[in-house]
């Protein structure tokens, strides 16, 4: 593994985002279930990203001197009065999962959220049955803050959802350690 960088999303990333978002491994772990169209995504860019409500990045992996976009990571619902924002990530390229790229990307976006956006709190929601993601978030330093029992009906059954969060002081302590 050579590492990753994150760069701001552009309109040119639309085809990748649409392809990634509509694969079952990603779709099954997101709260929005409808098939994403390029039009929907362009509307998202216009209303959320261009307005600064969401700071969204493309995760670019470096391997053997080559760069490849593998997923996206973002802080959305940015609340400037309470200094908080909601985190999200997906690695869309199946071959890029489980290689440590998600860990590296989350470290970068938390640094951005706390240092550049000067947030005090970053929070997320994750399906409780997404054990890999829950494990990863705890490893990074997110605390489980509450379990929303049977929060989401996916058409066949109810799924529990963990609310998780990390505070700036906790991130600073981890960085210093």
Ligand X SMILES: CC(C)(COP(=O)(O)OP(=O)(O)OC[C@H]1O[C@@H](n2cnc3c(N)ncnc32)[C@H](O)[C@@H]1OP(=O)(O)O)[C@@H](O)C(=O)NCCC(=O)NCCS
Active site members: 137
Residue 141, CA atoms < 13 Å, CB-side half-sphere:
17
Q: Does 108 bind ligand X (CB under 6 A)?
A: no
Q: Does 25 bind ligand X (CB under 6 A)?
A: yes
CB-nearer residue toward ligand X: 136 or 163: 136
Give the shortest CB-15-to-ligand X separation in angstroms: 18
> Within positions 76 to 95, which residues make up the interface with ligand X, using CB under 6 A?
89-91
Task: Find out whether 68 and 60 touch, Cβ atoms under 8 Å.
Answer: yes
Give the shortest CB-108-to-ligand X separation in angstroms: 12
Q: Which of 142, 139, 83, 136 is nearest to 113 (CA)?
A: 83
Task: Find out whether 115 and 175 touch, Cβ atoms under 8 Å.
Answer: no
Site for ligand X (CB under 6 A): which residue of 98, 146, 169, 172? 98
Task: Find out whether 81 and 103 touch, Cβ atoms under 8 Å.
Answer: no
Burial 140-163, CB ≥16 within 10 A → b, else e: bbbeeeeeeeebeeeeeeebebbb
Letters for 126-145 (x = contact with ligand X by CB under 6 A, - = none) are x---xxxx-xx--x------
CB-nearer residue toward ligand X: 30 or 80: 30
Give the shortest CB-81-to-ligand X separation in angstroms: 26
Q: Does 7 bind ligand X (CB under 6 A)?
A: no
The residue range among 2-10, 22-30, 42-50, 143-151 that interacts with ligand X, by the rule CB under 6 A, is: 22-30
Site for ligand X (CB under 6 A): which residue of 100, 147, 173, 175? 100
Give the shortest CB-4-to-ligand X separation in angstroms: 9
φ and ψ of 30, to 5 deg: -110, 160
Burial 87-126, CB ≥16 within 10 A → b, else e: bbbbbbbeebbeeebbebbbbbbbebbbeebebebbbbeb
Q: Contact positions toward ligand X, by CB under 6 A? A: 25-26, 29, 89-91, 97-103, 126, 130-133, 135-136, 139
């Amino acid at each position: 593994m050579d590492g990753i960088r994150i760069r701001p999303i552009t309109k040119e990333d639309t085809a990748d985002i649409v392809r990634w978002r509509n694969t079952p491994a990603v779709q099954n772990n997101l709260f929005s279930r409808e098939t994403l169209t390029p039009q929907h995504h362009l509307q998202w860019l216009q209303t959320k990203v261009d307005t600064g409500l969401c700071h969204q990045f493309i995760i670019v992996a470096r391997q053997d001197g080559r760069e490849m976009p593998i997923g996206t990571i973002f802080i959305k619902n940015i609340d400037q009065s309470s200094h908080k924002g909601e985190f999200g990530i997906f690695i869309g390229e199946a071959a890029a999962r489980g290689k440590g790229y998600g860990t590296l990307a989350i470290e970068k976006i938390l640094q951005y959220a706390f240092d550049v956006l000067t947030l005090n709190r970053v929070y997320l929601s994750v399906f409780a049955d997404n054990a890999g993601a829950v494990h990863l978030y705890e490893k990074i330093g997110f605390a489980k803050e509450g379990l929303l029992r049977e929060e989401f009906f996916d058409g066949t059954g109810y799924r529990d959802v963990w609310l998780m969060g990390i505070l700036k002081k906790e991130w600073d302590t981890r960085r210093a350690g």
